[in-house]
Copies of this chain bind each other. A is one copy, B any other.
């Protein structure tokens, strides 16, 4: 009982540490995240943090997992209200949500999809956390395929079994034909590729209004996927 009291305040402390660290991440980026600075913000001595996180990397891992989860939840929430059958609109909304989240949280986005932090090795935990967004985008493609199973025979004749993790991909979108996996991966990865290019400054000189451009891209990808128009 009192045990719960102590563990409750412990949980609160952990949350406070993560929140402070997240704020620092948001304002100065992952490289600038420092245990001493976190401690300062909480009016603690730096060594106190070690009661909660054994190492800087452990704290960073927690932030990564939280960020993936936040992104996943955001995209889920954005896409949920759209009628299940309107797969193209779901796709659009989900893609927009990814981009908006990235723009609102550029350093978190960079932490997840940018250059890996040097000397940091991502534990399996983070890979699992990453799957939430993948799940949303995959489910949309899958629902579309399920609705119109007969329509498009796979044109990409390539035998994909040799170079994809077919089981994993199939688990995410069981109704999508194997021959369309490559396009699905292109569409999925391109969403992040576009956002990265925008955030990292590679559209300077070619794209003036990234928001409008992104809309076009999302529709082109929907075409590539053969999503039903509406």
Contact = CB atoms under 8 A, between A and B. Distances in A.
Interface of A: 28-29, 31-32, 110, 113-116, 118, 122, 127, 130-131, 156, 158, 160, 162-165, 168-169, 182-183, 185-186, 189-190, 192-194, 196-197, 200-213, 216-217, 220-221, 224
A118 B190 CA distance: 25
Contacts of A29: 115, 118
Contact of A110 (B115, B122, B212): B115
A200 B114 contact: yes
**7 tightest A-B contacts by CB?**
A193-B193, A114-B115, A163-B209, A163-B212, A110-B115, A115-B115, A182-B216
Contacts of A164: 206-208, 213
Contacts of A122: 201
Given A110-B115, A217-B182, A220-B182, A189 B200 contact: no
A210 B163 CA distance: 7
Nearest to A172: B206
A220 B160 CA distance: 14
Nearest to A160: B216
Contact of A193 (B196, B203, B209): B196
Contacts of A183: 220
Contact of A216 (B113, B158, B211, B212): B158
B189 A194 contact: yes
Given A114-B200, A216-B182, A206 B168 contact: yes
A130 B210 CA distance: 19
A121 B4 CA distance: 49
A220 B165 contact: no
A61 B32 CA distance: 21
Given A182-B213, A189-B202, A207 B163 contact: yes
